[in-house]
Amino acid sequence: MQGEPDIAGVQDAVLKISGLSKTYLMGEVKVEALRHVSIEFFTGELVVLLGASGSGKSTLLNIIGGLDVPSEGKLYFHGREMTAASEAELTAYRRRSIGFVFQFYNLISSLSALENIQLVTDIAESPMQAEEALRLVGLGNRMNHFPAQLSGGEQQRVAIARAVAKRPELLLCDEPTGALDYQTGKLVLEVIEKVNRELGTTTLVITHNASIAGMADRVVRLGSGEVTEDRRNLARLTPSELVW
């Protein structure tokens, strides 16, 4: 594991994780998904979390997103300890501060693109207009389409719009291109990059595709439940420059 990033303290840490471990009991086998992970994420960063399957990257994302609780260690969100939060507080945390983008989009099939976003903006505190969010992801002309009428890439862009519409402080993307072809995947990454750049949302992209790392400010690699690499890119590539 490498040392703390040298710019710590210069930027605000949105998330501070210290000594985080997660042990699952799979039947009678104990699985250590995370082992004493300590890491910080800073405002406006676009971080790519790399790792093979079983490296613990999803577990980390789930704990960061308030979907799971660690076995050990602490997680602070703006200095507030989230590992001690109640179920209701975790719900409120997800509602206000976290934007999720799933691998399989998880749109509500009975709601149009616009309504899928309104579903979130209706319960958020100071969201952007749902239409504005759709325009941001380039789907201003597909507002009233239902998920079944949209391509996979379009659905994922709706999902991104849904995630960012509430202006979250943290955007968590779990294998956002995992279910998409190359071209469409790139298009989606462009949207994520744009959101990060234009809105300044701290963005975590989980992937097993190392080629995507090029678009990040910072690349964190996980292996066997530990951070094996934490580096900064000298320059971010645009998604269109990525090749895989």
Partner 1 sequence: MNLLGKKLLRELQYLKGQMLAVAAVVACGISVFVSMSSVKYSLEASREKYYNRYRFADVFLQVKRAPEFYRESVSRIPGVASVNTRIVADVTLDVPGLDEPATGRLISVPEYRTIPVLNDLFIKNGRYIEPGKPEEVVASKPFLEANGLVPGDRISAVINGRKKELVIVGMGLSPEYIYEVQPGAFFPDKRRFGVFWISRTALESALDMSGAFNDLSLTLAHGASEKNVVMRLDNMFRRYGSLGAYGRSEQLSDRFIADEIRQVGIQITFLPAVFLAVAVFLLNIVLRRIVATQRNQIAVLKAMGFSNEEVGLHYLGFALVPTAAGSVAGTLLGAWLGRSLMNIYADFYNFAELVYFFRFKDVALSVLLSFGAALFGAFGAVRGAVQLPPAEAMRPDSPVIYRPGVLDRPSLQKKISVPARIILRNLERRPWKAALSVLMISLAVAILIAGRYTYDAVECMVAVEFNEKHREDVTVVFNDPMPPSVAYSIASLDGVLEHEFYREEPVRMVSGHRTRRQSIKGLQSAEGLQRLVDRNSRQIALPPNGVLLTSTLAGILGVKRGDTVRLEFLQGRQQQREVLVAGTIDEILGLSAYMHIGELNRLAGDGGAFNAAYLRIERTKASGLFSDFKDMPGVGSIMMLKALKESFDELIAESMTTSTLILTSFACVLAFAVVYNGARISLSERARELTSLRVLGMTMGEISFILLGEQALLTLLALPLGFVIGIALSALLSVGLSSELYRLPLVFSAYNFLFAFMVVVLVSAVSALAVRNRLVGLDLVEVLKTRE
Binding site for partner 1 (CB under 8 A): 58, 62, 65, 67-68, 88, 91-96, 98, 100, 102-104, 106, 108-112, 115, 118-120, 122-123, 144, 146-149, 162-163, 174, 179
Give the separation between CA 86 and CA 241, rounded to whole angstroms: 43
Give the separation between CA 203 and CA 15, rounded to whole angstroms: 11
CB 213 within 8 A of CB 233: yes
Nearer to partner 1, 31 or 67 (CB): 67
Nearer to partner 1, 122 or 181 (CB): 122
Nearer to partner 1, 118 or 196 (CB): 118
Q: Structure tokens of 127?
A: 């969201």
Nearer to partner 1, 149 or 211 (CB): 149
What is the smallest separation between the CB atom of 138 and partner 1, expressed in angstroms?
22
What is the smallest separation between the CB atom of 100 and partner 1, expressed in angstroms?
5
Give the separation between CA 232 and CA 167, rounded to whole angstroms: 25
What is the smallest separation between the CB atom of 167 and partner 1, expressed in angstroms?
13
What is the smallest separation between the CB atom of 109 and partner 1, expressed in angstroms?
5
Nearer to partner 1, 155 or 196 (CB): 155
CB 65 within 8 A of CB 94: yes
What is the smallest separation between the CB atom of 232 and partner 1, expressed in angstroms?
28
Q: Is the dihedral of CA 144, 147, 150, 152 positive or negative?
A: positive
DSSP line for 203-243: EEEEES-GGGGGG-SEEEEEETTEEEEEEE-SSPPPGGG--
Give the separation between CA 24 and CA 31, rounded to whole angstroms: 5
What is the smallest separation between the CB atom of 135 and partner 1, expressed in angstroms?
19
Nearer to partner 1, 58 or 207 (CB): 58
